[in-house]
Amino acid sequence: MTSTHTLFSPASLADEGSIVSGLTTEIAAGGDLESLLERFLVSIVALAGAQAGAVRVLTDDGQHMRLVAQHGLPPEVMDAERLVERDCGMCGVAAGAEVLGWVEDVQSCARHSAPAYFGQQCKSVLAISLPHGNEVLGIYNLFFGADTHIDPQTQTILRLIGQLLGLALHNARIERERLRVTVMKERQEMVNEVHDVIAQTLVYVRMRLPLLHDAMLAHDDPRSLKYYADVKTAVSEVHNNLREVMTYFRTRMDPLGLLHALQGIADGFFNRNGITLEIRNSAQNLNLTDEQEVQVFHIIQEALANIAKHSMARRAVVAIDKSPQRLEFLIEDDGLGMDEPSVSTIVSMADGGLTPSHHLGLEIMQSRARRLGGSVEVGRNDGAGTRVRLVLPLSPAQARGGA
């Protein structure tokens, strides 16, 4: 090909380094992939003196390439290039192996795109692979209005940029898979929550309805009113606990971690509930996994919700302590206290009907603690009020994380 334009001048070498450095930093930071690609296309196109740029990724079936980012393409070209076959010319070659190559015949692009652009405004196209490991995930193109020559040093820079963009695509794919697994896991957790919290109460309702029916047929008004009250209370419990389950799945963990999330609750607790909440942490490093932090957060959140709803307290404390064997969370208040010193079952099948509503929340807390291999104990304080004690056993690695 005739050389009429040199991509990157020596004076632009500092800009090359700036692009590579900036791209490396943004990939490490994560974030939205398409906006990252579009931002760096602007820089690469300007630095290369190109007319336009585009990034294409292979579809899941490997049969096509999908346009995911572009800069400078005419609208009609962009529309035509949104999805092209994988084996399309030099772009197809670049999608099959790690190469940097020129599209020798831009008229071939015009056959499925805009003839007014290819062969007139666009004279040459560069196709560069986006590899990761032994796999090519896509390509990026630079479109030029003149025949172009690139030197070996510039080729190295363009290949490096392709490798970094390939890493970004790989990270995005991992994040999509992680999100898919998370969604599936949350769906299963929701099923478990609905079963644990609601199904048992509905069984109780089903048992009460025949008794209500028989009492009504016998014109036994006292028994009818009793069974009606039982059913009404149970339906109210189902409604309240379904709302609690929905609240749990809408509430996401603070990305800065458990301690930051708890402090966020404490900062607004008095304004919401009129109760002063203090976080006391004597553990230097909790060293919990993400899953453990999420479960602990929701156990404490449930305990604090019970305090807000039932305790009539003025003050509450969340105290965190760590030893080589276990991590302990104490949630205490100075309120009215509990009628019973231990966690009750969700439903009493005796004629007495349901236990107090907040015991349903306590059962959820126990269930979460069991998933972590830990335990929850609920009882009175030495003075007044209620104490919830969550204890988690620590693995040797977690214990070494600092006490």
Domain boundaries, the chain: 10-177, 252-403
Q: What is the pLDDT of residue 342?
A: 37
**Coil, helix or strand for 270?**
helix
Residue 167 bridge partners (DSSP):
none
Instruction: For residue 320, give the H/E element and its range.
Output: strand 315-322
Interaxial angle between packed helices 221-250 and 358-371, expressed in degrees from 0 to 180 and rounded to the nearest 10: 40
The pLDDT tens digits for 96-138 are 888 888 887 787 787 766 677 776 788 888 899 999 988 999 9
Q: Domain 252-403 in CATH: superfamily?
A: Histidine kinase-like ATPase, C-terminal domain (3.30.565.10)
In 3D, which of 329, 343, 334 has the Cα closest to residue 296?
Answer: 329
Q: Which one is predicted more confidently, 253 or 237? A: 237
Q: What is the pLDDT of residue 366?
A: 83
Residue 319 bridge partners (DSSP):
280, 330
Q: Does residue 219 have a pLDDT over 90?
A: yes
Q: ∠ CA(74), CA(77), CA(79), 5° rounding?
A: 110
In 3D, which of 74, 33, 80 has the Cα closest to residue 52?
Answer: 74
The pLDDT tens digits for 371-382 are 889 999 988 887
Q: Does residue 63 have a pLDDT over 50?
A: yes
Domains 10-177 and 252-403 share a fold: no
Q: What is the pLDDT of residue 357?
A: 44
User: How far apart are the C-alpha atoms of 51 and 143, rounded to whole Å?
Assistant: 6
- In our burial notation (b when 16+ CB lie closer than 10 A, e otherwise), range 364-394 reads bbbbbbeebebebebeeeeeebbbbbbbbeb
User: How far apart are the C-alpha atoms of 111 and 2, rounded to whole Å?
Assistant: 24
Instruction: For residue 322, give the H/E element and its range.
Output: strand 315-322
Alpha helices in 307-379 (DSSP H): 358-371
The pLDDT tens digits for 175-210 are 778 767 766 776 777 677 677 667 778 888 899 999
Fold of 10-177: Beta-Lactamase (3.30.450)
| Amino acid letter, 373 | G
Q: What is the pLDDT of residue 13?
A: 46
Residue spans of beta strands (DSSP E) within 59-103: 64-71, 83-85, 100-103
Under the banding of pLDDT at 50, 70 and 90, the label for residue 3 is very low
CA 380 to chain centre: 37
Rounded to 5 degrees, φ, ψ at 83 are: -145, 120
Q: Does residue 337 have a pLDDT over 50?
A: yes
Q: What is the pLDDT of residue 42?
A: 86
Q: Does residue 356 have a pLDDT over 60?
A: no
Mean pLDDT (the chain, rounded): 79
3 state SS for 3-58: CCCECCCHHHHHHHHHHHHHHHHHHHHCCCHHHHHHHHHHHHHHHHCCCEEEEEEE
Whether 372 contacts 296, CB under 8 Å:
yes
